Each structure stands twice: as structure tokens, then as C-alpha cells.
Amino acid sequence: IVSERISFCLNILPLFFSFKESLKSLFLCASNSVNLFVFQWEIVQTVVNGSPLYTYSVCNVDSSDQDNWLRTTFIQRRSGASRVSVELQFVVRDCNTFGSSSVACKETFNLFLAEADADVGTNFRKGQFRKVATIAPDEITQGNVLKVNTETKTVGSLSKKGFYLAFQDMGACVALLSARVYYKTCPSTVQSLAVFPETVADSLREVEGVCVENAIGQATPRIYCSAEGDWVVPVGQCQCLPGYETTGDSCQECKPGYFKSSVSLASCQVCPRNTKPSSAGASECQCEDGFFRSPSDPPTSPSPPSAPRDLTATTLSGEGRLLLSWSPPLVTGHRPDLTYSVACSICDGTACSTCGERIRFETDPAELRETNIIVSDLDSHLNYTFTVEAHSGVSQFDPERASATVTAALDYTDPPKVTSIHLEKSGPTSLSLSWSLSRERDVTTYTVRILDKSFVQITDLTPDTPYIFKVQALSPEGTPGSFSTEHEFHTSPLAEPQIQNNSTAVLGAVVGVAVILLAVLAFVVLRRRLVTAHFTSTVNPLQAYVDPHTYEDPNIAIQKFVTEIDPNAIAKHKVIGVGEFGEVFRGVMKTQGRGEVTVAIKTLKPGYSEKQRQDFLSEASIMGQFSHPNIIHLEGVVTKFKHAMIVTEYMENGALDTYLKDHDGEMSPYQLLGMLRGIAAGMKYLSDMSYVHRDLAARNVLVNSNLECKVSDFGLSRVLEDDAEGTYTTRGGKIPIRWTAPEAIAYRKFTSASDVWSFGIVMWEVMAFGERPYWDMSNHEVMKAINEAFRLPAPMDCPSAIYQLMLQCWQQDRAIRPRFADIVNILDKLLRSPESLKTIADFDPRVSIRLPSTSGGDGTMFRSVTEWLESIKMSQYKESFARAGITTMEQVLALRHEDIRNIGVRLPGHMKRIAYSILGLKDESSSLSVFAV
């Protein structure tokens, strides 16, 4: 590397430690330059981008056995900063440019670090240094234009008073331009009216704040400082004292003529009528002479109105009309000028938009004096949210604007009319017909068949789609009998191993189908056949899921979505599990069409409160809205009987996590993939219905005797009182940390994209046969690792394509995670080409998780094989190892897969644990990388 050489010197070294504004100097005494000790590195003036720079250079490419070291002076560490980053700028010359004489030439150098409690001066000992990283250039310099590389390495767990960095060259042609050493802080901030001090960003760390001047809080305000220097998850809120209002990040005195009587976030209000103007910072306004306020009168009197009550929406006859009606608010503030305003929005589970011009209010919704209004031009596919506010002349002072909200959809009972029928095609044995409807309801296709036999096979259906069927018999004279009840049947998903031929439905005459619309067609063939079956298939565009909580009376939600079952039709046989509300039984239910069917019966334990009963039944109101082969099917509920029960289809193999643990290693990746495909199809259905599950995990998936998987656990007490994994977060809600996407943990952004993250974890659980995600790492460690971009490694023997999909689901940016529709497509593709599963994902110890029990790095932490086996809970193999002559950790480190098997470890789970542990032990850098992607 060219340029003028300057004389070798030890001390004056213009290596730059330029600190960005947000980064703090780590060096308390070393000022802005750091001296380096040089062993065969030289200071060279180099021209980079036209400017001369001093660099440390070494270029002994033509002799082997190079070992050239360059060391910084002692760098003091600020206490608290146990993680520092080292940013290096350097140039490396291409070995090829030196010709054949440079056989020993290298293109990398190494970064080392040694901690020390005191400056050891020039006493340099290689052995004291530990390697941090091999530094390799992204761009190699070949010609005269120098390619400057920048590389940053982070070193953690520093504990001594300071440290030295060293650079080891083993035969490269390197010029070091700068080394910048820094740590990050979360800058001092004001959030929720609390001041938080500048904090060293180390690992996720909880920081306490103090309320700003003239504010108080109920509890000490807290917030987390992330390893990246960002403040996350603030907890608690300070509020301004009486006489003060929130202005930006501070509490300011109320202006003269205004007052504020309580500790709150509210603004100061104008002094009410008949009071004297107040001075600045007033907590109340004195009454004018001759006016009085009784002790029970609020200082704000006359107050703005409270929210309207009993808001309801009723479908009116005629096209697309609803009547909204409500009762006047409880508190009117004794003012005669009470009016109402009505607003409409459409919400899709993640965002709401205003209805705007799409609907019409039959009177002006801005200044209503009546307590009702008619809304028209509504679309029968949509759910509308109406918000009604009451106003009076003092509403402008009310920051809260109390309102009532109702979510409503058109609820038609009258069927649409068939307005015309056309003959599309006629042949000797067939007729093709089409018809139009006065109003399109959730029907996209119809098929009609006339049969003279008692069964039918329908082909060419769409996989994984619900079809509704109804059968009608015709007499020899052609008189139509009554239709059977509607039955919904679902075609199976494509390529699920156990059910390949799915685009076919076989119907017996007893289970007929057809929507009401079909009846109009019956005459077409009336005279010809003895028994005529008509069926129609309908594909329902999915209705959005309705949160039962939006019903003021939860019993109405239950009536709307759930069938009531006669308790006498149910018999409990055996306890199969325990849920939050009571025991779960296997039992039977007598049905009209299907005889006795085996069912699961969830019971509500005695001594429940009304709230618990409603929470218990809310799961049924949610489940009752779903109909999909991969969602647990609700048969109905018993509510009229003393002990409420929820009856669902029975899943012979119970919860998926337990099933997998019990069958560790017994299923092929192909079979596991089939199960995952089912779960993904169920989740796609839920996300299409705008339902966000929030607790998708293998323990909440049930498996039947065909190994079909169905998503369950739709409790409303969810998030997540009934889940042992639920951990209280700093905001008081419970979240199953290791299954939950970071944005949902940090700020409760639960969406289908956060469900996709959980699905990735379920994929991992399935491929690892029910292994606990992140093993015995604590929740705190898991959050920290995820924050630092680490991800779970591939399970043993996991096809690479499946692991790649997991990683996609775990993208930090939720917008770029795949959607469930994409996941189903990808899984289908893999199932169609099993050879795509042959490539197994690498288990790379350098970038993968270290088992917690192996943390420590190099195996030397275990004094004996026994101690090691105990630490990974595998001590049952002590004798087997001894018998095989494996008595030292060196021998353990040399073991290969076959060796472990030959020692006598056969169970796949045990094999896995032992092999992982050995990989972790071999991993030199395990103390640095947990599982980096």
C-alpha cells in the first residue's frame, strides 16, 4: 500500500476516535487519541480520496509465519457500559497483486481484546488477549484506488476497569485507518410527563423516572432502555396537579380565567357562569357574590353531557337501512341546548376508515335534537361502527367527549328475490340455467343436479372451500317435497398426506344441499324423475368476525352465534383435561341426523361469578362464528342449565405439543409439514375473518385421530389469563413472550402479522417435536436476544426450506412477513414436491444458539463427563459413556453423530440434546453470539 513512509514511532498516533453526537466517549483519560504499541506494524501516510491520512500498515506478504501485533493504550471503561462496539476502517490489498512470491499472503486480520483493572504500560502479553473476531474486507484493493472497508464488532460482558484492543496480522497487506470505540446510551427523555435520565444501553434495562415539576403519578414511572439505545415500553403516567395543565412535556399553570380542580391530564377549563375570573394557576373559580356552590357540586358545574345511553341499531325493511336509536345521557349538565352527532366508520381489525359518502344519513347527523336517525345505502357485507356523542354549550371544554359506540351489520331475514331465469344451454340429457337476484348475498356460484339415485359425487370443486348443500325429493307427479336442512361440507386442503383426493364431495340423499334460491329451479325437471335431488353449492365470502364484547349483553352474542343444546342430549364420560374454567370431558352427544357423536365438553366449575360465566361462554360466541376444517368445531352450548357447558368436536390425540413430545422422532418431515399446512390453513381462515388469535402455540392446537390439526383456544379472557405461558408485561396484560412478535410485546400491536410470527414458532415446535422454544432461557433473555436480531436455530434434521419459512415469519418488520395465504401456498408447493425437503438446514454452531446448559464456551467449564451430562439432564447415560471409554471432555468434543448412537443413545430427543450440547461446547465464539441470523 503506497505512500510516503514516515519514521517508526511509538507514541504520537493520529488514530481517530471521533464520536457521533449520540455516542459517548468511553475514554475518561485517553482524550481524543489513543496510542498504539506497534510490533512490525508501521505508521504510513496514505492518500485516501485525495487526503493524506496516517495509517497503521503491515505488508509482509512474502514470508510465512507472520504474527504482527498492534495494541492500543489502556482504554478506561465507564462503569455500566459492559458492551462496547469497535468500528474499524481499513484497507486490504488483494494477494493476487503480489504475484507468485506471496504464497503466505492473507486477506484478513484479527481483532483481540484483553480486559485489565490497571494500565500495564508496555507490558504486552499475547496470551492475555481473547479473540473477538476475524476482520475480513468486503472490498479488496487491487489497483491504486484504495477501497476503504468499515466493520463494526460488538463486545459484551466487560467487567474490569478497562481494556486493550489489539490487531493481529498473520501475513496480510493491511492499512488500518481508524478505530472508533463507543457505547450507546438511551438519551435523557421525558415521556408520560416523567423525566428519565440518560442510561447506558446495555441489555434491556428497566429505568425509573420522576414526574416533571407540578405533576404526580400513582406509581413510580418506568421505561425500558433497549440494547440499541431506544426507549421502549413506558409504564405509568404522571398527571398535572390541580391548577396546572399538560403542555407538551410539562405542566403549565392555568391561565387567568381558567381553572383545573383535579390531578389529571385534562386541560384547564373556562371558569363557569356566575363565577369570578380566577387568577393564574387556579384550582377552582370562586362564585360571584350572591351565588353559591354546595359541597356536592363539582367545581366544573355546569358540566358537559355524559355519553348517550342504550345505543342500538335495528335493520329496517327495504334496501340497506338501519335505525340507530339511543336514550339521553344521564348527566345533561342541566342545559337546554343538548344535541347529538353521529359518526360512522368501517373497521377491518387493524384500521378504521370513515364511511364518508358510501352511506347516507336521512337527517343531518351533526346537530340532532332527536334520539334516533336512519342510515341508508349500507352494504350487507360490511360491519359499521357508529359513534354517537352528546353536546351542549360547554362541550368544548370537555377534553374527553363521552360517546356511545355500536357495531352493526345488516341483518336480513328475508331472502333475496330471483328476478329472472335464463336457459343457457340445452342438450339431450342436460340443461344449463342461470338466474339473477334482487340482491346479491354471500353466494358466488350455484350448481344444480337432478338425480334419480340416492347419492351423488360432485367433482371439480375447489380445495379447502366450504360448500352448502340441501336436497329436495320430488314425487312421480313432480310435486316437490320439503327441502332437507342445509349442510355445510368442506373440501379438504390439497396435498394433505392423508387426504389427497379432495376436490370431490359424495352426498347421500339424506344429506342434501342447496340454498333457498334453488327452489325456484325445481320445476325444470319435475315431471321426469322419481327422486330428484337438487343441490346448490355456495362459496361464502367470509364475513368479518364480530367481537362478542361489542354486545352490551353477552347473552345476545351467544344467542346469535351459538346453538343451544339440550343438556339431556349430553353424557360426560371421562375427564381429559383441565381448562381455566373447569374440567374438560370426553363424552357423547345425541344428534338428530348423526346419531351419537363423541364430543369434548368443557365445563364451568361451581362457584363461578357472572363475569366468569360470560368469559367462559364468550369463547363459544367466537368459535361459533367459525367454520373451517382446521378450526375446532363448536357443536353448541348449554346455558339454560345450571352448569354451563361448551360442546366441541372431540380431538382424539389432544394438544399438539404433548402429542409431538410423546411421538418424538416418529414422524417424517413430510408428515409434520402436512400438520403445519393444516394449521396454516386454519390461520388463513381466521385472518380472512379479521380475527387475531394472539396465543397461537402448539399447546393451543388440537390433533384428531387422522392427525389433522385444528386451531383452538379462543377465550376472551385471553391475553391470556388461562395460559400458563402468559406473563404479565409491564402494562399488566399477560403475553406468552416466547411465542409473541416483538411489536406485540413492545406496544401491543397484535395483528395477523403477529400471528404469523407465532406460527413461525409453532413451525419450530413441530419440527423440534414439541421442544420448548428457546429452551430454558428466561423470558427476559428471549426478549433481549430477539431485540438483538437473534433467532431460533433450525431444529435438528429440519428441511432447509421449512427453516427459511420460519425465518421469514420472524422478520422484525411485520410488513414484510409472509401472510397466511402465502404460507399456505408455500407449504402446498413443498408438499407437492417432497424432494424439496431433502436439503437439511445447517446447524452452524458459530451462528447458532448455545444450549443454555452449555454456556461457557469451550468445554473446560466441565471438570468431568459426568458433570457435563448432569448439566444437560442426561445423567442416565453416565455408565454408557464410561463403558464406551469416553472419560474426558476432549473425547466428548471429538464425538460424531454415529459415535453417540454407538454409545447407546437412541432416543431422537436425547441424541439431539447431546449433539447440540457438543456443538455448543465447540463453539468458540458462543459467548458472543447466541443465535444470530
CB of 923 to ligand AMP, least distance (A): 37
The reply on whether position 507 binds ligand AMP by CB under 6 A is no
Identify which of residues 584 and 631 has a Cβ nearer to ligand AMP in the complex: 584
The reply on whether position 744 binds ligand AMP by CB under 6 A is no
Identify which of residues 714 and 862 has a Cβ nearer to ligand AMP in the complex: 714
200 annotated as a binding-site residue: no
CB of 542 to ligand AMP, least distance (A): 23
Identify which of residues 333 and 736 has a Cβ nearer to ligand AMP in the complex: 736
Q: Do residues 887 and 861 touch, judged by C-beta distance below 8 A?
A: no
Identify which of residues 583 and 858 has a Cβ nearer to ligand AMP in the complex: 583
Identify which of residues 320 and 577 has a Cβ nearer to ligand AMP in the complex: 577
3-state SS class at 766 = helix
579 annotated as a binding-site residue: yes
849 annotated as a binding-site residue: no
- Name the β-bridge partners of 205: 225
Site string for ligand AMP, 680-699 (x = CB under 6 A): --------------------
The reply on whether position 513 binds ligand AMP by CB under 6 A is no
Grid coordinates representing 656?
A: 399438539
Identify which of residues 695 and 755 has a Cβ nearer to ligand AMP in the complex: 695
Binding residue for ligand AMP, selected from 328, 497, 577, 742, defined by CB under 6 A: 577
What single letter denotes the amino acid at residue 151?
A: E
What single letter denotes the amino acid at residue 180?
A: R
CB proximity list for 424: less than 8 A, separation 6 or greater: 432, 433, 434
Q: Please, what is the angle between helix 752-767 and helix 669-688, to 10°? A: 170
Longest Cα separation, the chain: 116
The reply on whether position 790 binds ligand AMP by CB under 6 A is no
The reply on whether position 388 binds ligand AMP by CB under 6 A is no
- Stretch of 465-473, 571-579, 678-686, 873-881 lying at the interface with ligand AMP (CB under 6 A): 571-579
Identify which of residues 617 and 900 has a Cβ nearer to ligand AMP in the complex: 617
CA distance 770 to 664: 8
Binding residue for ligand AMP, selected from 584, 638, 698, 753, defined by CB under 6 A: 584
CA distance 345 to 613: 31
Concatenating the DSSP letter of every residue in 20-89 gives -TTSB---SSSTTB--EEESS-EEEEEEETTEEEEEEEEE--SSSS--EEEEE--EE--TT---EEEEEE
Binding residue for ligand AMP, selected from 189, 491, 614, 712, defined by CB under 6 A: 712
The reply on whether position 713 binds ligand AMP by CB under 6 A is yes
- Stretch of 101-109, 467-475, 648-656, 870-878 lying at the interface with ligand AMP (CB under 6 A): 648-656
582 annotated as a binding-site residue: yes
- Stretch of 112-120, 448-456, 577-585, 760-768 lying at the interface with ligand AMP (CB under 6 A): 577-585
580 annotated as a binding-site residue: yes
The reply on whether position 719 binds ligand AMP by CB under 6 A is no
Binding residue for ligand AMP, selected from 197, 463, 567, 654, defined by CB under 6 A: 654
CB proximity list for 497: less than 8 A, separation 6 or greater: 670, 671, 674, 831
The reply on whether position 415 binds ligand AMP by CB under 6 A is no
CA distance 778 to 786: 12
The reply on whether position 561 binds ligand AMP by CB under 6 A is no
Choice among 398, 695, 713, 828 that is catalytic = 695
Sign of CA dihedral 610, 613, 618, 621: negative
Taking CA atoms, 559 is separated from 432, 553, 563, 690, in Å, by: 40, 10, 7, 22
The footprint of ligand AMP on residues 585-644 (CB under 6 A) is: 600, 632
CA distance 197 to 190: 9
CB of 520 to ligand AMP, least distance (A): 40
CA distance 844 to 135: 19
CB of 712 to ligand AMP, least distance (A): 6
Identify which of 389, 408, 407, 404 has the alpha carbon closest to the alpha carbon of residue 311. Answer: 404
Identify which of residues 308 and 770 has a Cβ nearer to ligand AMP in the complex: 770
The reply on whether position 702 binds ligand AMP by CB under 6 A is yes
The reply on whether position 579 binds ligand AMP by CB under 6 A is yes
The site for ligand AMP, by CB under 6 A, has a size of 14
695 counts as catalytic: yes
Grid coordinates representing 439?
A: 340482491
Identify which of residues 244 and 616 has a Cβ nearer to ligand AMP in the complex: 616
Binding residue for ligand AMP, selected from 467, 650, 774, 862, defined by CB under 6 A: 650
577 annotated as a binding-site residue: yes
Residues, the chain: 933
Grid coordinates representing 888?
A: 474426558
CB of 663 to ligand AMP, least distance (A): 15
CB proximity list for 408: less than 8 A, separation 6 or greater: 313, 322, 324, 383, 384, 385, 386
The reply on whether position 661 binds ligand AMP by CB under 6 A is no
Q: What is the 3-state secondary structure (H, E, C) of 70-87?
A: EEECCEECCCCCCCEEEE
Q: Do residues 149 and 91 touch, judged by C-beta distance below 8 A?
A: yes
- Stretch of 32-40, 100-108, 576-584, 768-776 lying at the interface with ligand AMP (CB under 6 A): 576-584
Neighbours of 131 (CB within 10 A): 14
Q: Do residues 82 and 156 touch, judged by C-beta distance below 8 A?
A: yes
Active site residues: 695
Q: List, as residue ranges, the binding site.
A: 576-584, 602
Residue ranges at the known binding site for ATP: 576-584, 602
Residue ranges in contact with ligand AMP by CB under 6 A: 576-577, 579, 584, 600, 632, 648, 650-651, 654-655, 702, 712-713
